Amino acid sequence: MARIDLNHIRHAYGANPKSDKDYALREVHHSFDDGGAYALLGPSGCGKTTLLNIISGLLHASHGQLLFDGRDVTRLSTQERNIAQVFQFPVIYDTMTVYDNLAFPLRNRGVPEADVDRKVRETLDMIDLASWAKRKARGLTADQKQKISLGRGLVRSDVNAILFDEPLTVIDPHMKWVLRSQLKQLHRRFGYTMIYVTHDQTEALTFADKVVVMYDGEIVQIGTPAELFERPKHTFVGYFIGSPGMNVMPVAVEGKRAKLGGQVIDLPGAPKAEGNGIELGIRPEYVRLGAKGMPVTIRKVEDIGRHKVVRASLEGREIAAILGEDENVPADPHITFDPAGINLYDKSWRVEMGA
């Protein structure tokens, strides 16, 4: 396992990139700690798979440097980097047995057959496929095939990292949960450096210690699931994480107060931001519905089981609030914002509020 440093990595698929728009990855400067479980989260086309392929060496970045444990691997081939990768669709060698599939990466590297046998048996136990060893791989279910893909990485005990590219896309929902928890277990037991690409926030938040949110070819925030939820650094993170996403509305700031149309909201501190493009973000979880505060008109109440989502209109703008299952919408509804949940954004980026 290794620590992975991305040193000002940029990548463009076309030759001669001119503007920022030509880059699939604009600039990524980040380190993945040895033994960490990371999720790369972002919408389709944000560059997460590009970044993953640059780490595994399937792509070579057009600019920047890549280090494994301080060693420059930027120009090395995939095989020399010693990386394992699990793809979106299960890749298995149809004509081989499960056992031979797992032995394949070792045999290619000329490992003696006795060691191959020992490692393959260990790995079969790890991925719970010991009783399937002699079966042809083609007859297996999608989740078993995906485990074989993973197993081909695990079997090489010296891999620098295991990369996952949306590995649960073709897996049935109930098996997704099982596989995810097995992955977590493997991570805890063996301490692999794991990087997991996904566009599913639940997957990212349950799998990873640290979530890397990407947007438009850039990393917009890296943090624990709680940090991403409480303090989104960019309005995109606010929208993208949480269901429903964060409410974001343009405000005018005056000292410790923000003005939204005719309403005044008290801020927990005085932000160092002024002028146009200031926005206030608050998650629906921190919007309180009651008899006091700013008047709203209710448009719709969605009961989604554990709680209700109230869609309301505040000063002509959509706002979502979350209401407990047993709470009811008051007759003359007003809302207040819990100061703990208020974030301010200047041109989409979060600004700190002073005391």
Residues within the interface to other proteins (CB under 8 A) = 53, 56, 58, 77-79, 83-85, 87-89, 91, 93-96, 104-105, 108-109, 135-136, 139, 149, 152-153
Are 238 and 244 within 8 A, CB to CB?
no
Are 267 and 257 within 8 A, CB to CB?
yes
3-state secondary structure of 138: helix
Nearer to other proteins, 110 or 324 (CB): 110
Q: At 134, list the tokens.
A: 């002699």
User: Shortest distance, CB of residue 213 to other proteins, whole angstroms?
Assistant: 25
User: Shortest distance, CB of residue 331 to other proteins, whole angstroms?
Assistant: 49
Nearer to other proteins, 58 or 249 (CB): 58
Nearer to other proteins, 147 or 308 (CB): 147
User: Shortest distance, CB of residue 82 to other proteins, whole angstroms?
Assistant: 9
Contacts (Cβ under 8 Å, ≥6 apart) of 66 = 4, 5, 6, 7, 9, 54, 55, 72, 73, 74
> Running DSSP on this structure, what letter comes out for residue 1?
-
Nearer to other proteins, 80 or 325 (CB): 80
User: Shortest distance, CB of residue 104 to other proteins, whole angstroms?
Assistant: 6
User: Shortest distance, CB of residue 199 to other proteins, whole angstroms?
Assistant: 17
Distance of alpha carbon 298 from alpha carbon 318, whole angstroms: 10
Are 38 and 194 within 8 A, CB to CB?
yes
Distance of alpha carbon 81 from alpha carbon 78, whole angstroms: 5
Nearer to other proteins, 94 or 338 (CB): 94
Nearer to other proteins, 155 or 241 (CB): 155
User: Shortest distance, CB of residue 96 to other proteins, whole angstroms?
Assistant: 7
User: Shortest distance, CB of residue 95 to other proteins, whole angstroms?
Assistant: 5
Are 168 and 137 within 8 A, CB to CB?
no
- For the four alpha carbons of 318, 320, 323 and 325, in that order, the dihedral sign comes to positive
User: Shortest distance, CB of residue 111 to other proteins, whole angstroms?
Assistant: 10
Distance of alpha carbon 269 from alpha carbon 53, whole angstroms: 43
Nearer to other proteins, 135 or 288 (CB): 135
Contacts (Cβ under 8 Å, ≥6 apart) of 225 = 204, 205, 208, 211
Instruction: Express the helix, strand and coil content of the chain in percent, nearest 5 each.
Output: 30, 35, 35
Nearer to other proteins, 79 or 224 (CB): 79
